[in-house]
Each structure stands twice: as structure tokens, then as C-alpha cells.
Structure 1
Amino acid sequence: MHPTARRWHLLTAGVAIVALLLQLVLIVAGVAVLNEAEVPGLGIRLGRFLSYFTIQSNALVALTAVQLARNPQQDGHGWRVARLCAIAGITVTGLVHFVLLRPLLHLEGWNWAADKLLHMVVPVLAVAGWGLFGPRPRITARTVGWALLWPIVWLGWTLMIGATTGWYPYPFLDVADKGVGSVGAACLGVTTLFLVVFAALATLDRRLDQTS
């Protein structure tokens, strides 16, 4: 199994890195600024690039997949948290994009390619690789508790930055446009989705280990 697992994880890491680099090139070139009327400065564009949950989740997938390509049985507490963050985060990224964001986007050319890689191809590769090759068991209640800190901190930081600058990475978090009630409902919905994904992954982690 190890040679196949190594190749799969290497493929996943490669696609994630290509997707991130392509999106970064588009950001630097100033041709991927979403619906901005004016292109902001490079420093602001780079800061916003790093602020997207999509970018962070894809980066985590790339980092953990590279390590798994080297050692498919990688373990350790910090590793378990990072790997769970990567798989849960990329799962939520794909689901939220498909349900909430995809209908709002009208992309072409390389912007379209980067969007599909980040939001569809990498999630499928990462989740399929986890399901097929693990490693498992790796998910405990303690791991879930630590992993949940990342989306909570990201959400709090994003809302604080949005309140001070008026910029939000995702339309459903824009308090000025959507209102406090709508944003609160969206935050509750995404948090619930994370909890469901964590629970599903933990259950599958145990069951797949028993059948392997």
C-alpha cells in the first residue's frame, strides 16, 4: 500500500501547490481581486490572499500531503491536529463553495482554473486520499478540540478585520451588507457544519480502521 499511498499524497500535494501558486500569480498580477472596483496595493492583495480560508485549508493540505508522501504512517499529537484541520477544512471549503459561493462567481481563463483547483480538485483528492490511505486511527476528542480552534480563531479575526476595514473575504460574512442577524446565522451554520464534519471524520476513522 505504501508506494500507492505515497504517489497519491504526492499528487495531492503537487496539485495543491500548483493551485496556490497559480492563485498567487493572479493576485500579484492584479487580475484576481474579485469584485473590487479598484485594484488595491500589492501588500493589501497579499494580505487578503492569506486571509482566505480556502487558501489556508489548501496550504494545510499541501503541507500534510508532502509529509505523508515521505512517511504514509506519520503520527504525533501536533501532526494529528494539523491533518484533521487539513481534511476537515478542505471538506468545508468544498461544501461552502459549492452551496454558497459558486453561484456568485463568473470566472474565466486562469481565474476559473485556479478556482476549480482550489475548491473542487484539491478537496476531492485530499478527502479521497484520507479515505483510502489514512493513516488511521488518528482522530480523538482531544484532537477535535484542538482542531476546532483554527476555524474559531479564523472567524473571530476575519470579523474583527472586516469591522475595522470594511473588507470581508466572503460575502456571507459582510455585516454591513448582510446585517448582524444574517451573518450570525451564517457563522452558526458554518460552525455546525464543522462539527458535523469532525464527527463524521471521527466515526469513519474508527470504522475504516476496523475494516482495514
Structure 2
Amino acid sequence: MTSTSAARLWHTVTALAAAAGLGTQLVLVVTGASVLVEDRPPGLAARLLHFVSYFTVLSNLLVLLTTAAAARRPTVDGRLWRVLRLDAVVGITVTGLVHWFFLRPLLQLTGWPYVTDKVLHVVVPLLAVVGWLLVGPRPRITLRVVLLGLIYPVGWLVYTLVIGAATGWYPYPFIDVGARGGAAVAVTSVALALLILAFSVLAWLADRRWPPTPRDLPTGRP
């Protein structure tokens, strides 16, 4: 199997896993199945708004979009794609780590909610990160891409805090101002921003130092 065909296969599997996880989760949301415990389950419109407000969902969606493009053309490139690809890899990395160390102990899931949770928080992060390491495409990251990539996570955080202040609903307990207080959430927010920046810089350095891939087609330095 050539480097390009291996990359195409890996990206295809990753995109399908993300699509399956997101699709199943959407069905659970529409049918009213609860993933996170809520004392008063909201109506459909609110559930859909909550669905698209989770960093997990958005990061999986970015993985789906960028790996689907890479599956079609393993050497895919473009200014916007580079930013979205970095956001996908860094975002899904943070998603997996935060879930595993902080959120997983809080969840008591069974059946399809359990399966979907594992796909979105474990399977897709592993496929996306390992795929980026092994099949790229690389090189694609510059300092400008790193800086532009911060727009997504910072924008999500601002959006989440604004929606939370207006409705009282927060997607994750560690940014719940009502429960933890503004000072604690501010510290957490800064820590998250620094974590995302650190992973973005590490990805930039790795992208510069590691061999270009796929190897059997020209990639060109950015």
C-alpha cells in the first residue's frame, strides 16, 4: 500500500467514525435520550442548541470535515483548511483528555449513549491524532495558522459564557459560573486557553521537524 493510499484509507475510517458518532448522538438528542444528567430535560429546540454548543460535538465535526477532504485528496491544502485541520487535531486532543480525566467519572451511561460517548471521546480522538501523526498531510502549520486557530476555541468559550449567563445552562461543569463562581471559571478558562495554545505550538513544531507526508506525492513547504 502506498503512502497516499494508506492516508486515504485512514482519513476515510476517521471521517466515518466521526460521522457515525455525531449522527447517533443527534438521534439520541432528537428522541430525548439523555447523555448528561439534567433535572429538567429541555424541549427539542433547546436540546438541539445544546447539542451544537458542546466543544466535543464541534471538534468531532471539524475532524469529520477535514478528514473527509483529506480522504478525497490526501495532499489537500488551503489557507482555511490548514486552520480548520489544526483546530480539529488540537480540539479533539483536548476533548479526549478532558473527558478521560475530568468528565468520564461523572457519567453513568449504558446502551447507545455509552457507545456514542466512547466513539466521540475515545475512538475519534485516537484515530484523528494518530492519523495526523502518521499520514498528515504535512507540512501544513505556520505561526499564522497557530494564531488563527485560536479564534475557534476562544470564540467557543466566549459564546458558551454568554449563553450560560443568559440561560443558566453550561455544557460542562468546570465552566459553570453559577455553580463555581466567576473567579474559578476565569482561572479554568485561562488554563484551557493556555493548554490549547501549548498543543497548537507543539503541533507546529512537530509539523516543521517531521518528514513530509504523504511521501509519494509532492507536498511543498508552506
2:86 paired with 1:84? yes
Mark the CA change 1:9 to 1:123 in structure 2 (over 3 Å): closer, same or farther.
same
2:168 paired with 1:174? no
Distance between the aligned counterparts of 2:195 and 2:102, measured in 1? 13
Task: Identify the residue that residue 115 of structure 1 maps to in structure 2.
Answer: 117
Deviation at 1:38, TM superposition (A): 2.2
Select 1:199's aligned residue among 198, 201, 210: 201
2:18 paired with 1:19? no
Task: Identify the residue that residue 64 of structure 1 maps to in structure 2.
Answer: 66
Amino acid at match of 2:62: L
Mark the CA change 1:210 to 1:7 in structure 2 (over 3 Å): closer, same or farther.
closer
Select 2:142's aligned residue among 140, 143, 151: 140
Question: Unaligned stretches of 5+ in structure 1?
Answer: none
Amino acid at match of 2:201: A
**Higher RCO (CA-CA < 8 Å; seq separation 6+):** 2
TM-score (structure 2 length as normaliser): 0.93
Deviation at 1:189, TM superposition (A): 1.2
Distance between the aligned counterparts of 2:149 and 2:99, measured in 1? 21
The answer to whether the 8 A contact 1:57-1:86 is kept is yes
Aligned residue pairs, count: 212
Deviation at 1:210, TM superposition (A): 6.6
Mark the CA change 1:33 to 1:94 in structure 2 (over 3 Å): closer, same or farther.
closer
Task: Identify the residue that residue 218 of structure 2 maps to in structure 1.
Answer: none
The structure with the greater share of residues assigned to helix is 1
Q: Partner of 2:152: helix, strand, or coil?
A: helix
TM-score (structure 1 length as normaliser): 0.97
Task: Identify the residue that residue 157 of structure 1 maps to in structure 2.
Answer: 159
Amino acid at match of 2:143: A
Deviation at 1:8, TM superposition (A): 0.5
Select 1:44's aligned residue among 24, 46, 62: 46
Q: Percent same amino acid among aligned pairs? A: 52
2:98 paired with 1:99? no
Distance between the aligned counterparts of 1:189 and 1:97, measured in 2? 16
Q: Partner of 2:39: helix, strand, or coil?
A: coil
Runs of 4+ aligned structure 1 residues displaced above 2 Å come to 209-212
Deviation at 1:198, TM superposition (A): 0.5
Q: Partner of 1:51: helix, strand, or coil?
A: coil
Select 1:55's aligned residue among 50, 54, 57: 57
Amino acid at match of 2:46: I
Deviation at 1:93, TM superposition (A): 0.6
Distance between the aligned counterparts of 2:212 and 2:62, measured in 1? 27
Deviation at 1:188, TM superposition (A): 1.2
